[in-house]
Structure 1
Amino acid sequence: MGGDTIIGKTHKGVIVTLDERISKLRLAYPLNSKHKDGVSAAISTLLRPVKGFVYSITYDNGKEFSGHEQVNKSINCKSYFAKPYHSWERGQNENANGLLRQYFPKTMSLVNVACNEVKIAVNKLNSRPRKCLGFKTPYQVFFERTGIDARQLGVVRL
Protein backbone atom coordinates (compact mmCIF):
# COMPACT_ATOMS: atom_id res chain seq x y z
CA MET A 1 0.00 0.00 0.00
CA GLY A 2 0.98 3.58 -0.53
CA GLY A 3 -0.44 6.44 1.51
CA ASP A 4 -0.70 10.17 0.87
CA THR A 5 -2.98 13.17 1.35
CA ILE A 6 -4.63 15.60 -1.01
CA ILE A 7 -4.94 19.04 0.53
CA GLY A 8 -7.61 21.55 -0.44
CA LYS A 9 -7.50 25.26 -1.13
CA THR A 10 -7.69 26.33 2.51
CA HIS A 11 -5.12 23.75 3.73
CA LYS A 12 -7.62 22.49 6.31
CA GLY A 13 -9.70 19.76 4.72
CA VAL A 14 -7.87 16.74 3.32
CA ILE A 15 -8.57 13.53 1.49
CA VAL A 16 -6.37 10.69 2.71
CA THR A 17 -5.54 8.26 -0.10
CA LEU A 18 -4.30 4.67 -0.10
CA ASP A 19 -3.34 2.61 -3.14
CA GLU A 20 -2.90 -1.15 -3.29
CA ARG A 21 0.15 -1.82 -5.46
CA ILE A 22 -0.83 -4.96 -7.36
CA SER A 23 -4.49 -4.31 -8.18
CA LYS A 24 -4.09 -0.50 -8.36
CA LEU A 25 -7.12 -0.25 -6.05
CA ARG A 26 -7.64 3.25 -4.69
CA LEU A 27 -9.14 3.88 -1.25
CA ALA A 28 -9.83 7.41 -0.06
CA TYR A 29 -11.69 9.27 2.65
CA PRO A 30 -12.23 12.88 3.64
CA LEU A 31 -11.17 14.41 6.95
CA ASN A 32 -11.61 17.96 8.16
CA SER A 33 -8.02 18.15 9.41
CA LYS A 34 -4.79 16.28 8.82
CA HIS A 35 -4.04 15.68 12.50
CA LYS A 36 -2.09 12.46 12.99
CA ASP A 37 -4.64 10.87 15.34
CA GLY A 38 -7.52 11.29 12.90
CA VAL A 39 -5.45 10.11 9.95
CA SER A 40 -4.18 7.04 11.83
CA ALA A 41 -7.63 6.10 13.10
CA ALA A 42 -9.14 6.46 9.65
CA ILE A 43 -6.43 4.35 7.97
CA SER A 44 -6.84 1.63 10.60
CA THR A 45 -10.62 1.62 10.22
CA LEU A 46 -10.42 1.54 6.45
CA LEU A 47 -7.87 -1.28 6.27
CA ARG A 48 -9.15 -3.46 9.11
CA PRO A 49 -11.38 -5.58 6.79
CA VAL A 50 -8.36 -6.39 4.59
CA LYS A 51 -5.61 -6.45 7.21
CA GLY A 52 -4.56 -9.98 6.26
CA PHE A 53 -3.59 -8.67 2.83
CA VAL A 54 -1.72 -5.53 3.92
CA TYR A 55 1.95 -6.19 4.66
CA SER A 56 3.39 -2.70 4.43
CA ILE A 57 2.42 0.90 3.81
CA THR A 58 4.77 3.46 2.26
CA TYR A 59 4.00 7.03 3.23
CA ASP A 60 5.43 10.39 2.30
CA ASN A 61 7.16 12.31 5.08
CA GLY A 62 4.21 14.46 6.10
CA LYS A 63 3.68 14.86 9.84
CA GLU A 64 0.10 13.62 9.41
CA PHE A 65 1.60 10.12 9.13
CA SER A 66 3.59 10.34 12.37
CA GLY A 67 0.99 8.08 14.00
CA HIS A 68 2.06 5.18 11.77
CA GLU A 69 2.91 2.96 14.76
CA GLN A 70 -0.76 3.02 15.81
CA VAL A 71 -1.69 1.76 12.32
CA ASN A 72 1.05 -0.90 12.47
CA LYS A 73 -0.34 -2.31 15.71
CA SER A 74 -3.94 -2.12 14.53
CA ILE A 75 -3.52 -4.01 11.26
CA ASN A 76 -0.21 -5.81 11.88
CA CYS A 77 1.85 -4.27 9.09
CA LYS A 78 5.11 -2.36 8.62
CA SER A 79 5.53 1.28 7.70
CA TYR A 80 8.08 2.78 5.37
CA PHE A 81 8.69 6.36 4.37
CA ALA A 82 9.82 7.67 1.00
CA LYS A 83 12.87 9.89 0.91
CA PRO A 84 12.04 13.59 1.15
CA TYR A 85 11.36 15.14 -2.27
CA HIS A 86 11.43 11.72 -3.96
CA SER A 87 7.79 11.54 -5.03
CA TRP A 88 8.70 9.03 -7.77
CA GLU A 89 9.26 6.43 -5.03
CA ARG A 90 5.48 6.42 -4.69
CA GLY A 91 4.67 7.05 -8.33
CA GLN A 92 1.46 5.06 -8.42
CA ASN A 93 0.04 7.01 -5.50
CA GLU A 94 1.05 10.37 -6.97
CA ASN A 95 -0.45 9.41 -10.34
CA ALA A 96 -3.71 8.31 -8.72
CA ASN A 97 -3.82 11.57 -6.75
CA GLY A 98 -3.61 13.39 -10.07
CA LEU A 99 -6.58 11.39 -11.33
CA LEU A 100 -8.54 12.20 -8.17
CA ARG A 101 -7.73 15.88 -8.72
CA GLN A 102 -10.00 15.72 -11.79
CA TYR A 103 -12.87 15.56 -9.30
CA PHE A 104 -11.34 17.72 -6.53
CA PRO A 105 -9.14 20.43 -8.09
CA LYS A 106 -6.55 22.36 -6.07
CA THR A 107 -8.77 25.43 -6.16
CA MET A 108 -11.53 23.58 -4.27
CA SER A 109 -11.83 23.69 -0.49
CA LEU A 110 -12.00 20.18 0.97
CA VAL A 111 -13.24 21.19 4.43
CA ASN A 112 -16.78 19.88 4.00
CA VAL A 113 -16.42 17.42 1.15
CA ALA A 114 -19.16 14.83 1.49
CA CYS A 115 -18.26 11.16 1.80
CA ASN A 116 -20.62 10.43 -1.05
CA GLU A 117 -18.71 12.78 -3.37
CA VAL A 118 -15.44 11.01 -2.60
CA LYS A 119 -17.07 7.59 -2.91
CA ILE A 120 -18.42 8.42 -6.38
CA ALA A 121 -15.00 9.66 -7.56
CA VAL A 122 -13.17 6.63 -6.12
CA ASN A 123 -15.73 4.26 -7.63
CA LYS A 124 -15.21 5.83 -11.06
CA LEU A 125 -11.43 5.48 -10.78
CA ASN A 126 -11.61 1.87 -9.56
CA SER A 127 -14.08 0.99 -12.34
CA ARG A 128 -11.74 2.09 -15.15
CA PRO A 129 -10.18 -0.82 -17.04
CA ARG A 130 -6.39 -0.52 -17.04
CA LYS A 131 -3.99 -1.70 -19.71
CA CYS A 132 -1.43 -2.72 -17.05
CA LEU A 133 -4.08 -5.01 -15.53
CA GLY A 134 -4.95 -6.71 -18.82
CA PHE A 135 -7.89 -4.33 -19.27
CA LYS A 136 -9.46 -5.45 -16.00
CA THR A 137 -10.60 -2.97 -13.38
CA PRO A 138 -8.87 -2.59 -10.01
CA TYR A 139 -12.06 -3.93 -8.41
CA GLN A 140 -11.86 -7.12 -10.50
CA VAL A 141 -8.16 -7.73 -9.81
CA PHE A 142 -8.54 -7.10 -6.08
CA PHE A 143 -11.50 -9.51 -5.89
CA GLU A 144 -9.57 -12.20 -7.79
CA ARG A 145 -6.64 -11.86 -5.37
CA THR A 146 -8.55 -11.63 -2.09
CA GLY A 147 -12.17 -12.68 -2.59
CA ILE A 148 -13.21 -9.35 -1.05
CA ASP A 149 -15.64 -7.01 -2.79
CA ALA A 150 -13.68 -3.77 -2.50
CA ARG A 151 -16.64 -1.60 -3.43
CA GLN A 152 -17.59 -1.74 0.24
CA LEU A 153 -14.17 -0.43 1.36
CA GLY A 154 -13.76 2.79 -0.62
CA VAL A 155 -14.73 5.54 1.82
CA VAL A 156 -15.26 5.95 5.56
CA ARG A 157 -16.16 9.01 7.58
CA LEU A 158 -15.11 9.12 11.22
Structure 2
Amino acid sequence: MDKSVKNGPALAGHGAEAARDAIAGTIMDLQAHLRRSLTWDQGAEMAQHARLRIDTELDIYFCDPQSPWQRGSNENTNGLLRQYFPKGTDLSQHGAGELSAVAHALNSRPRKTLGWRTPAEALDGLLKSDMTEGVATTG
Protein backbone atom coordinates (compact mmCIF):
# COMPACT_ATOMS: atom_id res chain seq x y z
CA MET A 1 0.00 0.00 0.00
CA ASP A 2 1.25 3.49 -0.89
CA LYS A 3 1.49 5.30 2.47
CA SER A 4 1.56 8.75 0.81
CA VAL A 5 -2.05 8.24 -0.30
CA LYS A 6 -3.36 7.02 3.08
CA ASN A 7 -4.82 9.69 5.39
CA GLY A 8 -6.94 7.57 7.67
CA PRO A 9 -10.22 6.05 6.63
CA ALA A 10 -11.54 7.68 3.49
CA LEU A 11 -14.99 6.17 3.86
CA ALA A 12 -17.55 8.21 1.96
CA GLY A 13 -14.83 10.63 0.85
CA HIS A 14 -14.02 11.87 4.36
CA GLY A 15 -10.26 11.42 4.11
CA ALA A 16 -7.97 14.43 4.30
CA GLU A 17 -7.12 14.30 0.59
CA ALA A 18 -10.78 14.03 -0.41
CA ALA A 19 -11.65 16.99 1.84
CA ARG A 20 -8.76 19.06 0.46
CA ASP A 21 -9.72 18.31 -3.14
CA ALA A 22 -13.41 19.04 -2.54
CA ILE A 23 -12.72 22.35 -0.80
CA ALA A 24 -10.18 23.47 -3.38
CA GLY A 25 -12.41 22.48 -6.29
CA THR A 26 -15.39 24.35 -4.88
CA ILE A 27 -13.77 27.45 -3.44
CA MET A 28 -11.79 28.27 -6.56
CA ASP A 29 -15.10 29.00 -8.32
CA LEU A 30 -15.51 32.06 -6.08
CA GLN A 31 -14.06 35.46 -6.88
CA ALA A 32 -10.67 35.96 -5.21
CA HIS A 33 -11.91 38.53 -2.69
CA LEU A 34 -14.57 36.07 -1.48
CA ARG A 35 -12.07 33.31 -0.75
CA ARG A 36 -9.52 34.89 1.52
CA SER A 37 -9.79 32.61 4.55
CA LEU A 38 -11.27 29.41 5.91
CA THR A 39 -11.91 28.63 9.56
CA TRP A 40 -12.11 24.97 10.51
CA ASP A 41 -12.46 22.90 13.64
CA GLN A 42 -9.84 20.42 14.78
CA GLY A 43 -11.03 17.54 12.57
CA ALA A 44 -8.60 15.07 11.02
CA GLU A 45 -10.07 15.83 7.59
CA MET A 46 -7.95 19.00 7.55
CA ALA A 47 -4.65 17.11 7.88
CA GLN A 48 -3.90 18.39 4.36
CA HIS A 49 -4.42 22.06 5.32
CA ALA A 50 -0.87 23.07 4.35
CA ARG A 51 -1.35 21.74 0.82
CA LEU A 52 -4.79 23.37 0.63
CA ARG A 53 -3.19 26.67 1.66
CA ILE A 54 -0.63 26.38 -1.12
CA ASP A 55 -3.14 25.26 -3.76
CA THR A 56 -5.74 27.96 -3.01
CA GLU A 57 -3.77 30.77 -1.33
CA LEU A 58 -6.33 30.67 1.51
CA ASP A 59 -5.43 31.75 5.01
CA ILE A 60 -6.56 28.79 7.12
CA TYR A 61 -7.47 29.17 10.77
CA PHE A 62 -8.44 26.58 13.35
CA CYS A 63 -10.87 26.98 16.21
CA ASP A 64 -9.87 26.18 19.74
CA PRO A 65 -10.91 22.66 20.84
CA GLN A 66 -14.51 22.38 22.08
CA SER A 67 -15.26 25.95 20.90
CA PRO A 68 -17.95 25.63 18.21
CA TRP A 69 -19.12 29.22 18.85
CA GLN A 70 -15.96 30.34 17.02
CA ARG A 71 -17.64 29.09 13.86
CA GLY A 72 -21.19 30.22 14.58
CA SER A 73 -22.57 30.46 11.05
CA ASN A 74 -21.14 27.04 10.24
CA GLU A 75 -22.73 25.48 13.31
CA ASN A 76 -26.06 27.06 12.35
CA THR A 77 -25.73 25.66 8.83
CA ASN A 78 -24.93 22.22 10.23
CA GLY A 79 -28.18 22.39 12.18
CA LEU A 80 -30.10 23.28 9.03
CA LEU A 81 -28.42 20.43 7.12
CA ARG A 82 -29.50 17.97 9.84
CA GLN A 83 -33.09 18.60 8.73
CA TYR A 84 -32.17 16.82 5.50
CA PHE A 85 -29.33 14.54 6.57
CA PRO A 86 -29.22 13.20 10.14
CA LYS A 87 -25.80 13.17 11.84
CA GLY A 88 -23.73 10.27 10.57
CA THR A 89 -25.40 10.20 7.14
CA ASP A 90 -23.16 8.76 4.44
CA LEU A 91 -23.37 11.55 1.86
CA SER A 92 -21.83 9.32 -0.80
CA GLN A 93 -25.22 7.56 -0.89
CA HIS A 94 -26.81 10.76 -2.21
CA GLY A 95 -26.32 11.94 -5.78
CA ALA A 96 -24.98 15.33 -6.81
CA GLY A 97 -28.46 16.38 -7.91
CA GLU A 98 -29.95 15.67 -4.50
CA LEU A 99 -27.10 17.48 -2.71
CA SER A 100 -27.52 20.46 -5.06
CA ALA A 101 -31.26 20.53 -4.38
CA VAL A 102 -30.62 20.73 -0.63
CA ALA A 103 -28.02 23.48 -1.16
CA HIS A 104 -30.53 25.38 -3.29
CA ALA A 105 -33.25 24.98 -0.66
CA LEU A 106 -30.97 26.31 2.09
CA ASN A 107 -29.62 29.15 -0.06
CA SER A 108 -33.20 30.17 -0.91
CA ARG A 109 -34.33 30.23 2.72
CA PRO A 110 -34.58 33.70 4.34
CA ARG A 111 -32.33 34.20 7.38
CA LYS A 112 -32.89 36.57 10.27
CA THR A 113 -29.13 37.30 10.40
CA LEU A 114 -29.33 38.56 6.80
CA GLY A 115 -32.26 40.90 7.44
CA TRP A 116 -34.62 38.22 6.13
CA ARG A 117 -32.80 38.04 2.81
CA THR A 118 -31.77 34.66 1.53
CA PRO A 119 -28.09 33.71 1.37
CA ALA A 120 -28.41 33.77 -2.42
CA GLU A 121 -29.78 37.34 -2.31
CA ALA A 122 -27.04 38.45 0.08
CA LEU A 123 -24.31 37.00 -2.13
CA ASP A 124 -25.90 38.48 -5.24
CA GLY A 125 -26.01 41.91 -3.58
CA LEU A 126 -22.37 41.62 -2.57
CA LEU A 127 -21.31 40.63 -6.07
CA LYS A 128 -23.33 43.46 -7.65
CA SER A 129 -21.87 46.04 -5.26
CA ASP A 130 -18.38 44.81 -6.09
CA MET A 131 -19.11 45.29 -9.79
CA THR A 132 -20.40 48.86 -9.39
CA GLU A 133 -17.60 49.94 -7.02
CA GLY A 134 -15.04 49.30 -9.76
CA VAL A 135 -16.91 51.22 -12.45
CA ALA A 136 -15.69 54.73 -13.29
CA THR A 137 -18.26 57.49 -13.48
CA THR A 138 -18.49 60.18 -16.13
CA GLY A 139 -19.51 63.52 -14.92
TM-score, normalized by length of structure 2? 0.77
CA deviations over 1:41-96 (Å, ceiling 9, x no partner): 11000011215021110001011011112221222110000011111111211111
Aligned-pair CA distance for 1:106: 2.6
Q: Is residue 92 of structure 2 the alignment partner of residue 132 of structure 1?
A: no
User: CA RMSD for the aligned pairs?
Assistant: 1.9
Aligned length: 119
Higher relative CO (CA 8 A, sep ≥ 6), structure 1 or 2? 1
For structure 1, the residue ranges without an aligned partner over 5 or more in a row are 1-10, 14-31, 148-158
TM-score, normalized by length of structure 1? 0.68
Q: Is residue 99 of structure 2 the alignment partner of residue 118 of structure 1?
A: yes
Q: Find the partner of 1:42 among 6, 10, 22.
A: 22
The ranges of structure 1 where at least 4 consecutive aligned residues each deviate by more than 2 angstroms after the TM superposition are 106-111
For structure 2, the residue ranges without an aligned partner over 5 or more in a row are 1-8, 129-139
Q: Is the 8 A contact 1:51 1:76 kept in 2?
A: no
Q: Is residue 62 of structure 2 the alignment partner of residue 81 of structure 1?
A: yes
Q: Is the 8 A contact 1:12 1:111 kept in 2?
A: no
Q: Considering fraction of residues, name the structure with more helix.
A: 2
Change beyond 3 A, Cα 1:56–1:137: same
Higher Cα Rg: structure 1 or 2? 2
